[in-house]
Amino acid sequence: MVVGVNVFANIVPTDGMMISSLPWYLIVAIIPAVTADIILNNSTIKSKIGVGESELIAGALLSSTFYIFNYPMLVWAFATSLDMQLANLQGIEAVSILTSDFLSTLPTALAITLVPGALMGIVGAYLSSKKIVIPSSSSLTSMSYSSLLLQE
């Protein structure tokens, strides 16, 4: 969902200037999302490491790659501090070199953002697991629709 929203909000509206970056962006962004989904929904993995740990791992995985998920907008935010060429440019000139600058600074940006992002993902997964209670499927099948409405 995040990948799709980002593609249609940030990449597609650039009048085709950034469409060439779309294939590699989709590959790089979808891999962590699919991996996290597998970790969260695979019963074998959850039985080996536990439900709580699978949530923490998925949260860390997705959050550690937030720099890639938020491409290209986060690149603009780091442009000045990472001394990218596009920091002093605007419009078409900036967009034309955005992909090359992003790829050249990706290792540095990931080194800076990977651990803090993973820690925030772990904290977010832990807090959300404490706040969100998911009823078991057996308790849902034993309840009627009207009793579920009354519980709200």
What is the average pLDDT value for the chain, to the nearest integer?
Answer: 75
User: Would the pLDDT of 71 be above 90?
Assistant: no
Q: pLDDT confidence of 19, banded at 50, 70, 90?
A: low
Q: Domain coordinates of the chain in residue numbers?
A: 2-151
Q: What is the mean pLDDT of residues 15-29?
A: 70
* Vertex 128: Cα angle to 52 and 146 (nearest 5): 100
- What single letter denotes the amino acid at residue 107? P
Which pLDDT belongs to residue 32? 86
Beta carbons of 117 and 63 less than 8 angstroms apart:
yes
Count of residues making up the chain: 152
Which pLDDT belongs to residue 104? 76
More confident residue, 45 or 28: 45
Quick: pLDDT tens for 39-69: 988 889 888 998 889 999 999 998 888 877 7
Which pLDDT belongs to residue 146? 53
Which pLDDT belongs to residue 67? 74
Quick: pLDDT tens for 92-130: 666 667 767 777 777 887 888 889 999 999 999 999 888
Beta carbons of 86 and 34 less than 8 angstroms apart:
no
